[in-house]
Amino acid sequence: MSAIAAPLKKTLNVALIQLSAGFDKAKNLNHFKTHILKAIGESKNKLDLVVLPECFNSPYSVSEFRNYAETIPDGETTQFLSAIAKEHQIFLVGGSIPELDKTNDKIYNTSVTFDPQGKIVGKHRKAHLFDIDIKGGITFKESITLTGGDKATVYDLDGFGKVGLGICYDIRFPELAQIAARSPNDSFAMIYPGAFNTTTGPLHWHLLARARAIDNQIYTIVCSPARDLNSGYHAYGHSLVVDPYGKIIAEAGEGEEIVYAQLDPELITKVRQGIPINYQRRFDIYNNVVDGATVSDV
């Protein structure tokens, strides 16, 4: 067995901003900015990475996505987040926003990540659209207004290593995390801004986050909106961070909250040395999902 390289190069300090969003975009943006600054000021350690939830600048509503859609990178929200990341020297995963692509007039659910210089280093369009009909539960079809992305997303957090990015329903499809975690991508974490509801959340939110971590021996970060019972969509909440053993090391409740976690690089190496699944896969029996995968960094 060859030596196991640590995909996370040094300790990473993370904050998850769990807030709700309403119909006033400017108010939503300012609300999140206030809490980002609060996280930076209150954190016991210098923050390296801040993560926002899915659809943080708009209501989570298929009838509203086009009304709130912006172009990237010149849209209001993208410029707003870029300025915050640059001013405060942090990596910032901008949850997700409705994106308008003027080349085809289609709307995407898109997450953009900024480096400490305010530059876009990662962009992911939600690949798997949330089209479900649970008897006695919820019916919701994103495909009414949204188009799915066509790439897995892996990018570098300079000085720390690579991460993979998905959005909400993407977490149910393990291939994206497998592509990110395996060579040649070698990511140390999957990040999922997400908005599970109060039907699917209690059933699968924790289970899926832990499964993606255990399957790939990486950290999994999932950031939800806070639950707002006065809105049309009731998010589950419970933003959390899972370590490579599958242990939840930080978790929010249902309301508005900031969650902090510290990602230890040595833990990934320890887990992979103890349970060496990377060297025990049987590609003579099944295919390696990385082969032929379509991967985008920006």
Which one, of 178, 152, 184, 166, lies nearest residue 7 by Cα?
184
- Residue in 55, 99, 123, 168 annotated catalytic: 168
Q: Where are the beta strands (DSSP E) in 94-186?
A: 97-101, 106-114, 120-125, 131-133, 139-141, 152-157, 161-165
The answer to whether the CB of 93 falls within 8 A of the CB of 113 is: yes
For residue 197, the 8-state DSSP code is B
Instruction: Report cis status (omega within 30 of 0) of the bond before 202.
Output: no
Tokens of 93: 């995963």
Q: Any catalytic annotation for residue 126?
A: yes
- Residue in 126, 142, 223, 251 annotated catalytic: 126
Q: Any catalytic annotation for residue 54?
A: yes
First to last CA, the chain: 34
Measured CA to CA, the distance from residue 276 to residue 63 in angstroms comes to 47
The answer to whether the CB of 152 falls within 8 A of the CB of 293 is: yes
- Residue in 54, 70, 99, 254 annotated catalytic: 54
Measured CA to CA, the distance from residue 180 to residue 171 in angstroms comes to 12
Measured CA to CA, the distance from residue 289 to residue 191 in angstroms comes to 19
Q: Any catalytic annotation for residue 168?
A: yes
The catalytic residue positions are 54, 126, 168
